[in-house]
């Protein structure tokens, strides 16, 4: 990890410090290899240049979650990152795929609750904050998807939290693995509950940890093919048996002994127990209780756990009976016997404990005493019994206690495995290894040797895994890594386990010789490994030896190595306990084979080595995952971070070794954009092409590194790989560039300051000189004045007496005159000033008054002139239009003359028929009128008596009728209708005038004439009713218009195609159309009559033209079915369609199929790709542009609006007719289309577009196009809603990680990194909005539609968030308010970046949730009044909504209260008075309507220039489309 770095004066570095491990500072001076550093604490230190590291000043303030992202991967950088995150309560950090877990020494329930497990379930690794759940989820997903077993290795020193981490891992795996019951209990429940049992019998308090595991544990969790837990097995390694007999102060023995002493009184009495102080195995230490732990409750919890794992009551009783027997066994003391080297029980107390031990073990007390005090030696001649001295007897007692406890522990493990059950059919498993970390104490014995040997093995496996990960990274980036050396610790493993010359082999050899001692064993080691670089002989000890492990040197005391390594059972002990009357005890000591009855040697090391080998084979067959647990301090208290302690643990845990492996290759890796962003200023010329399309990030990185003269680096596919020290060198060069730039800036600023100071000094000097000269001049003037006064006094001294009175009087008079004149002058000045001001005010007011009057007069004149000129212009326009219609056919091109001639011939015939029909209708009407007159004449005599009254009624009608006719104002947009109605009104007026004259002239006329007058009055009334119905129709036509569009869209494309093809076939076969079953004989305007006329004038040239036209239409349809793209911001397809339709005069023909085919093409495109927003946006842009062109071009045809009122049909007939003519378009005779179908169209030329009289097919096409624009818009909007709905749901249902539990005192455990994790949901929404906006921009969708869709999307977000706030109490909290506020800030930032052109008023749509969140996060709510809340803070929210939020609010962060009770009461009163409290009245509704009209699109879009649009290649070479070529090419 030592690297040559480029350090210069001013560099920020890390230097070694004996107290803090590493301390930060700034380089002040460099002398050769010595560096003088000014530390952040103000001290000045001197360090060697090779022992300092560069400091990253641009590191994030909260640290990084993955330390591979550090710019400088070295010890101080790693340590500082862990410290920063630990201070923020972020206890988990990644190093690649390795998790470092720092024990917080406090409860953090929010990190491990069900919500958190749900969050990490299935989440990609690295997407969420580092967590032990992420490691478990990754291993589980890898097992399920790849079908390969996985393992999780949890390591760390005592107190680092390995056991708790293992619990969390198994708990999460049980959460993922589902449920599979075994004998009424689930497998995962038994696995989890096995922890308390194993902790009670395998954990103890040590110096560093109150619950230290004194054994290694590997839990195999087996899964079936569905990924459910199907079985489990627990493997244990190297239980620390010596702790049963020897305990150092202030440690404790195993927990089970203390739990049993704190058991219920009846059990204590049954086992004849007492306090822990009364037992020899427990009172060797002064520590008997743990702070915060109740041993009595723990005993009951252990018994419950035993029930869950399947240990019966009888077995539990036997377990604790054996445990109590071990305690009594430890109190058996020995004294010297009468014989030499013999021993006897020391006193009655020892006899009592011997008796209790035998009673609890259910064996013979005498046999037990003999087994402890005597040995049987079998020789070929005889069997000899040998007595043991007291010391040997005590060793025998302790050996028996350790053997019993060891076998009891093994039995518990086997019982748990049997109870849980293993799945023989399982092919995949996840192993969780909870094993002791590297240990180095003041006194290290056999247990530490085995533990460190295990860690050496695991470290080798860890190094191989890390190197493998490095290799995969290098292969992924395709860089050369073949020369990188692998850091291995095989030499240490050979030193320990190599046969025949390893330490373990020599230890086993020494144990097999009875006369071997620890001195001879140590000398053997010295001789064998005297030249080994990893073996060191201490200078001050003859029996100790030191091994240089990967984590440091450890000195071992070999005093008890031989005794602790021996693992044979004394035959006397075996025979005694094997014959026990207790089946449980006898089961612990099964009968041995004949060959094993003698004291055959068995080695702990050999057995442990075999277990370790099996463990490594298991780990090698699985995919490993690593969790390194770290203890931040030895005080076991929160918020204390000891650098030296953690650094040592990082070394012991292999983390620094992994960093060393990374440093051997390329420790610094930066993505191209990050590297360019940081070091681009070193080579600005390489960034010259940044704005160009050919910008290559990889090439820019290459140029930067080459310019800096670096070598050995590698450039991968996406990252730059730097060797150790190169990042520091680049930073140094960067600092030089920035320093030189800063120097230039400073020089300029200092020059400016100096110039400013000189100018100020010069001005001050000039001012001082002027002041001094003035003072001197004043003094000289005073002197001259005194001289002149003296002369005058001498000259006039004689006259002084006479003039003194005069002078005084003159002075007084002058003073009075001066004052009077001054007062008078001020009055005159003030009066003049006021007069001038008044004049100015009057002038301005009169000017304003006359100007306003003039403007109003001018405006009224202009309005009057415009209206009058408009009226005259409309009259002239109608005349011009009529003239244009009569002469327009003569201006057609030569190739259209035949067709126009046919149309004129057909129209002539049609006019003749219409005239004949009209004359017949008039004759019938005259005959009917004459008959009515005759009928009226017959009734004349009967009505003479009523003549007078009827004349009066007639006069009254005469007086009232004209007012009705003249005063009725008919507001109709269609000018043709107005002319028709006006003509009819004029005719009625004429009739009415004639009848009035006759009534005046002939007062005594016949009853028939009076009847005719009454009929005239009825016609007037009927005319009024007709006008009223017309107004109603005008009001209802908009809704009919919408129905018309929906009916057009709902028609399936295949219906269009089938109807059209059938009509074409019918036309080609017979020349007539078979479509409608209406009685055409009665309607002269029926389509059948038109068809017959067309058939009569159809000839061969016309057929060839039609065929050519059909070919061109087919080619056009094939062309627009492709993605034609855009010309600038103009959609090519829409422009091509419009130009073709305009050229072919399709808008002016009565029948055509091209509109149907275009609509069918659009419908097919959007039906197939309803989930593809890119395709939908493309067609939305084309459809809206084409609609805009039609809107500005088409005007209603005269034939469509000039029909008589009696020819009109209802809207139902209109939509029914549309269904029958969709196969082949033609204008249905007798149907009058309202003028506003095309919007507000005026005649002539508007915005550069020539108006075209549109026939019915064109108008129907425009309606259908409008409907498709609305449909595509709605589909795109709904797609975006579907996309953001899951993310929005996550924002609503996400656990409030920053929210602590409701328990008092836990509200301060807030995790900023967790907030960043939750804000990722909002960033996902913003990302979706951004990508969606890019799609719309790319396809040039009109901004008005973009604004509308985002306004509705933001309204949807507002509704969802606000309703969730009102319906979920967990959302109505202070922390959630801060969380949503941060999310809204992300949306606000997006709106700002999107600009008003595209976002529009979208931000205003969030007003409800914004004001609600502002209320949640505001402080001092109880001080707010209802008026302040409802008018200032939340003016948009209703009283019901405010009441709901106020009552549901709770502060989970600071514990503050909601609004005062008075405000709540006032809200309730207001709701009662308004009587508006109904269910869910406070909720918002989502608006899914279409929020725009065709006129909105037309008004918001600029004119589109289509003349320079290049035609697509498919039709460019076709002569029939030559009109599409730009004008430049045509010339």
Which tokens go with 1260?
């129907």
Annotation marks residue 212 as catalytic = yes
Asked if 140 contacts 149 with a C-beta cutoff of 8 angstroms, the reply is: no
Distance CA 1451, CA 1373 (A): 5
CA distances from 649 to 493, 656, 1054 (A): 21, 9, 75
Closest by alpha carbon to 1510, among 1493, 1495, 1528?
Answer: 1528
Other Cβ atoms closer than 10 A to 1339: 21
CA distances from 1008 to 39, 934, 1016 (A): 124, 8, 12
Distance CA 15, CA 21 (A): 8
Residue found by looking up tokens 């004996």 in the block: 18
What phi and psi, each to the nearest 5 degrees, are found at residue 599? -75, 75
The secondary structure of 1437-1475 as a DSSP string is S-HHHHHHHHHH-B-SSS----S-HHHHHHHHHHHHHHT
Residue found by looking up tokens 């195995």 in the block: 281
Q: Which residues are annotated as a binding site?
A: 156-163
Q: What is the CA radius of gyration of the chain?
A: 52
The secondary structure of 1372-1392 as a DSSP string is SBHHHHHHHHHHHHHHHHHHH
Asked if 739 contacts 10 with a C-beta cutoff of 8 angstroms, the reply is: yes
Distance CA 719, CA 285 (A): 58
Sign of the C-alpha dihedral, residues 1003, 1005, 1007, 1009?
Answer: negative
Closest by alpha carbon to 231, among 432, 433, 428, 421?
Answer: 421
Residue found by looking up tokens 């009594």 in the block: 328
Catalytic residue among 63, 159, 231, 310: 159
Asked if 171 contacts 185 with a C-beta cutoff of 8 angstroms, the reply is: no
Catalytic residue among 81, 97, 206, 209: 209
Annotation marks residue 159 as catalytic = yes
Q: Which helix (H) or strand (E) holds 1015?
A: helix 1007-1050
Distance CA 1492, CA 1266 (A): 11
Catalytic residue among 149, 213, 668, 1146: 213
Distance CA 1180, CA 76 (A): 58
Asked if 1321 contacts 1383 with a C-beta cutoff of 8 angstroms, the reply is: yes
What phi and psi, each to the nearest 5 degrees, are found at residue 1215? -70, -35
The secondary structure of 1105-1116 as a DSSP string is HHHHHHHHHHHH
Which tokens go with 671?
């993505």
Q: Which residues contact 774 (CB under 8 A, 6 or more apart)?
A: none
Distance CA 1376, CA 1382 (A): 10
Q: In what order do the strands lie in the sheet with 535-536?
A: 535-536, 544-549, 552-557
Annotation marks residue 439 as catalytic = yes
Angle between helices 390-420 and 313-330 (to 10 degrees): 160
Annotation marks residue 209 as catalytic = yes
Distance CA 1156, CA 1158 (A): 6
Catalytic residue among 216, 437, 578, 1377: 437
Residue found by looking up tokens 């960034």 in the block: 687
Q: Which residues are annotated as a binding site for ATP?
A: 156-163
Annotation marks residue 1474 as catalytic = no
Residue 275 DSSP one-character state: -
Torsion, Cα of 1266, 1268, 1271, 1272 (10° steps): -110
Sign of the C-alpha dihedral, residues 281, 286, 291, 295?
Answer: positive
Annotation marks residue 1211 as catalytic = no
Other Cβ atoms closer than 10 A to 853: 10
Catalytic residue among 90, 251, 298, 439: 439
Asked if 152 contacts 180 with a C-beta cutoff of 8 angstroms, the reply is: no
Annotation marks residue 1479 as catalytic = no
What phi and psi, each to the nearest 5 degrees, are found at residue 13? -135, 170
Catalytic residue among 155, 212, 1364, 1458: 212
Annotation marks residue 431 as catalytic = no
Sign of the C-alpha dihedral, residues 199, 205, 210, 215?
Answer: negative
Catalytic residue positions, numbered: 158-159, 163, 209, 212-213, 437, 439
């Amino acid at each position: 990890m030592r690297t040559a770095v480029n350090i210069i004066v001013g560099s920020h570095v890390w230097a070694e410090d004996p107290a803090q491990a590493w301390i930060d500072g700034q380089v002040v001076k460099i002398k050769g290899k010595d560096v003088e550093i000014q530390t952040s604490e103000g001290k000045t230190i001197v360090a060697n240049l090779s022992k300092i590291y560069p400091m990253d000043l641009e590191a994030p303030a909260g640290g990084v979650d993955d330390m591979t992202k550090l710019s400088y991967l070295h010890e101080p950088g790693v340590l500082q990152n862990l410290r920063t995150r630990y201070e923020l309560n972020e206890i988990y950090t990644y190093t690649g795929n390795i998790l470092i877990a720092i024990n917080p020494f406090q409860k953090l329930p929010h990190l491990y609750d069900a919500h958190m497990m749900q969050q990490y379930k299935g989440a990609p690794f690295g997407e969420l904050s580092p967590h032990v759940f992420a490691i478990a989820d990754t291993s589980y997903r890898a097992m399920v998807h790849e079908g390969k077993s996985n393992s999780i290795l949890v390591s760390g020193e005592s107190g680092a939290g390995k056991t708790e981490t293992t619990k969390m891992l198994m708990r999460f795996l049980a959460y993922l693995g589902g449920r599979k019951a075994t004998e009424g209990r689930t497998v995962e429940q038994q696995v989890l509950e096995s922890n308390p049992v194993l902790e009670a019998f395998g954990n103890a308090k040590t110096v560093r940890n109150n619950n230290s595991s004194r054994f290694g544990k590997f839990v195999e969790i087996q899964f079936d093919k569905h990924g459910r837990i199907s079985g489990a097995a627990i493997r244990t390694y190297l239980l620390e048996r010596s702790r049963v007999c020897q305990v150092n102060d202030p440690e404790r023995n195993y927990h089970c002994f203390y739990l049993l002493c704190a058991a219920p009184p009846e059990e204590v009495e049954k086992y004849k127990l007492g306090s822990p102080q009364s037992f020899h195995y427990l009172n060797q230490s002064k520590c008997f209780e743990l702070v915060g732990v109740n041993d009595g409750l723990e005993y009951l919890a252990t018994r419950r756990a035993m029930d869950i794992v399947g240990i019966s009551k009888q077995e539990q009783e036997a377990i604790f009976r054996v445990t109590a027997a071990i305690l009594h066994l430890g109190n058996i003391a020995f004294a010297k016997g009468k014989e030499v080297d013999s021993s006897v029980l020391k006193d009655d107390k020892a006899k009592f404990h011997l008796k209790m031990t035998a009673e609890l073990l259910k064996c013979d007390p005498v046999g037990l005493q003999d087994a402890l005090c005597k040995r049987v030696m079998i020789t070929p001649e005889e069997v000899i019994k040998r007595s043991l001295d007291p010391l040997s007897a005590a060793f025998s007692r302790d050996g028996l206690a350790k053997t019993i406890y060891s076998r009891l522990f093994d039995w518990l493990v086997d019982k748990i495995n049997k109870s849980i059950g293993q799945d023989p059919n399982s092919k995949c498993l996840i192993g969780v290894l909870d094993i002791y970390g590297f240990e180095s104490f003041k006194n290290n014995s056999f247990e530490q040797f085995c533990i460190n040997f295990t860690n050496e093995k695991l470290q080798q496996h860890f190094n191989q895994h890390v190197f493998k990960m490095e290799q995969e990274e290098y292969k992924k980036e395709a860089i050369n890594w073949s020369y990188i050396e692998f850091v291995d610790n095989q030499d240490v493993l050979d030193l320990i386990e190599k046969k025949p010359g390893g330490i373990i082999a020599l230890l086993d050899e020494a144990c097999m010789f009875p006369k071997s001692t620890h001195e001879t064993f140590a000398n053997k080691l010295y001789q064998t490994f005297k030249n080994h670089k990893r073996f060191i002989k201490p200078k001050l000890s003859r029996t100790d030896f030191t091994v240089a492990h990967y984590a440091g040197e450890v000195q071992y005391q070999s005093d008890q190595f031989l005794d602790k390594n021996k693992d044979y059972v004394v035959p006397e002990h075996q025979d005694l306990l094997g014959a026990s009357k207790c089946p449980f005890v006898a089961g612990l000591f099964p009968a041995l084979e004949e060959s094993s009855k003698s004291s055959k040697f068995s080695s702990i090391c050999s057995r442990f080595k075999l277990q370790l080998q099996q463990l490594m084979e298991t780990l090698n067959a699985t995919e490993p995952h690593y969790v390194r647990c770290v203890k931040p301090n030895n005080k076991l208290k929160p918020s204390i971070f000891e650098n030296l302690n953690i650094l040592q643990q990082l070394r012991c845990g292999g983390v620094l070794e992994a960093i060393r492996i990374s440093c051997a290759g390329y420790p610094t890796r930066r993505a191209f954009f990050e590297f360019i962003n940081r070091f681009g200023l070193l080579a600005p010329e390489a960034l010259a092409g940044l704005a160009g399309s050919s910008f290559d990030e990889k090439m820019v990185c290459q140029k930067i590194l080459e310019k800096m003269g670096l070598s050995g680096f590698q450039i991968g596919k996406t990252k730059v790989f730097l060797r150790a020290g190169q990042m520091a060198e680049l930073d140094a060069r960067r600092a030089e560039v920035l320093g030189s730039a800063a120097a230039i800036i400073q020089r300029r600023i200092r020059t400016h300051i100096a110039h400013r100071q000189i100018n100020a000094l010069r001005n001050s000097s000039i001012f001082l000189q002027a002041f001094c000269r003035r003072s001197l001049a004043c003094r000289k003037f005073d002197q001259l004045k005194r001289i002149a006064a003296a002369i005058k006094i001498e000259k006039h001294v004689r006259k002084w007496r006479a003039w003194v009175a005069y002078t005084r009087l003159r002075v007084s008079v002058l003073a009075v005159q001066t004052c009077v004149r001054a007062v008078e002058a001020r009055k005159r000045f003030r009066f003049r000033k006021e007069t001038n001001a008044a004049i100015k005010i009057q002038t301005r007011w009169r000017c304003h008054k006359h100007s306003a009057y003039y403007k109003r007069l001018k405006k009224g004149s202009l309005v009057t002139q415009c209206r009058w000129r408009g009226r005259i212009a409309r009259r002239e326009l109608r005349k011009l239009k009529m003239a244009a219609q009569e002469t327009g056919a003569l201006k057609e091109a030569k190739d259209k003359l035949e067709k126009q001639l046919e149309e004129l011939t057909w129209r002539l015939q049609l006019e003749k028929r219409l005239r004949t029909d009209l004359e017949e209708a008039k004759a019938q009407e005259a005959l009917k009128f004459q008959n009515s007159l005759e009928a009226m004449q017959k009734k004349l005599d009967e009505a003479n008596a009523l003549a007078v009254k009827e004349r009066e009624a007639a006069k009254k009608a005469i007086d009232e009728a004209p007012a009705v006719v003249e005063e009725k104002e008919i507001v109709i947009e269609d000018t043709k209708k107005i002319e028709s109605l006006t003509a009819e009104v004029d005719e009625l007026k004429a009739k009415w005038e004639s009848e009035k004259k006759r009534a005046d002239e002939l007062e005594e006329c016949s009853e028939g004439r009076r009847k005719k007058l009454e009929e005239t009055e009825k016609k007037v009334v009927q005319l009024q009713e007709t006008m009223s119905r017309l107004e109603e129709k005008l009001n209802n036509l908009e809704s009919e218009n919408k129905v018309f569009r929906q009916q057009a869209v709902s028609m399936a494309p295949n219906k269009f195609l089938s109807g059209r093809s059938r009509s074409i076939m019918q036309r080609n076969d017979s020349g007539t159309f078979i479509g409608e079953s209406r009685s055409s004989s009665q309607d002269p305007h029926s389509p059948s009559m038109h068809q017959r006329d067309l058939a009569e004038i159809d000839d061969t040239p016309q057929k060839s033209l039609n065929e050519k036209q059909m070919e061109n239409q087919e080619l056009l349809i094939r062309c627009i079915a492709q993605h034609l793209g855009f010309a600038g911001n103009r959609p090519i397809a829409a422009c091509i369609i419009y130009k073709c339709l305009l050229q072919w005069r399709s808008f002016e023909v009565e029948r055509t199929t091209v509109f149907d085919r275009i609509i069918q093409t659009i419908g097919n495109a959007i039906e197939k790709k309803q989930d593809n927003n890119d395709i939908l946006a493309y067609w939305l842009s084309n459809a809206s542009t084409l609609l805009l062109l039609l809107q500005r071009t088409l005007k209603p045809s005269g034939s469509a609006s000039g029909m008589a009122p009696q020819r009109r049909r209802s809207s139902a007939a209109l939509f029914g007719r549309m269904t029958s003519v969709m196969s082949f378009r033609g204008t249905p005779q007798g149907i009058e289309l309202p003028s506003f179908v095309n919007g507000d169209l005026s005649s002539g030329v508007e915005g550069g577009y020539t108006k075209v009289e549109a026939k019915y097919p064109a108008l129907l096409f425009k309606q259908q196009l409008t409907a498709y624009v609305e449909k595509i818009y709605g589909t795109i909007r709904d797609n975006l809603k579907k996309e953001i709905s899951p993310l929005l749901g996550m924002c609503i249902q996400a656990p409030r990680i920053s929210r602590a539990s409701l328990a008092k005192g836990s509200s301060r455990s807030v995790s900023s990194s967790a907030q960043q994790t939750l804000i990722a949901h909002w960033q996902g929404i913003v990302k979706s909005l951004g990508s969606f906006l890019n799609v719309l921009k790319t396809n040039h969708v009109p901004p008005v539609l973009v604004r509308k869709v985002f306004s509705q999307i933001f309204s949807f977000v507002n509704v969802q968030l606000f309703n969730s706030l009102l319906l979920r109490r967990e959302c109505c909290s202070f922390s959630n308010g801060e969380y949503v506020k941060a999310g809204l800030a992300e949306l606000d930032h997006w709106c700002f970046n999107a600009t008003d052109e595209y976002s529009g008023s979208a931000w205003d749509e969030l007003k409800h949730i914004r004001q609600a969140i502002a209320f949640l996060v505001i402080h001092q709510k109880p001080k707010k009044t209802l008026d302040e809340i409802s008018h200032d803070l939340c003016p948009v929210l209703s009283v019901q909504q405010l009441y709901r939020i106020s009552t549901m609010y709770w502060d989970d962060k600071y514990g503050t209260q909601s609004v005062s009770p008075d405000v709540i009461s006032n809200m309730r009163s207001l709701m009662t008075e308004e009587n508006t409290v109904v269910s869910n009245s406070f909720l918002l509704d989502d608006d899914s309507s279409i929020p725009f009209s065709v006129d909105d699109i037309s008004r918001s879009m600029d004119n589109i220039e289509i003349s320079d649009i290049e035609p697509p290649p498919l039709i460019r070479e076709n002569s029939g489309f030559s009109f599409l070529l730009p004008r430049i090419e045509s010339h």
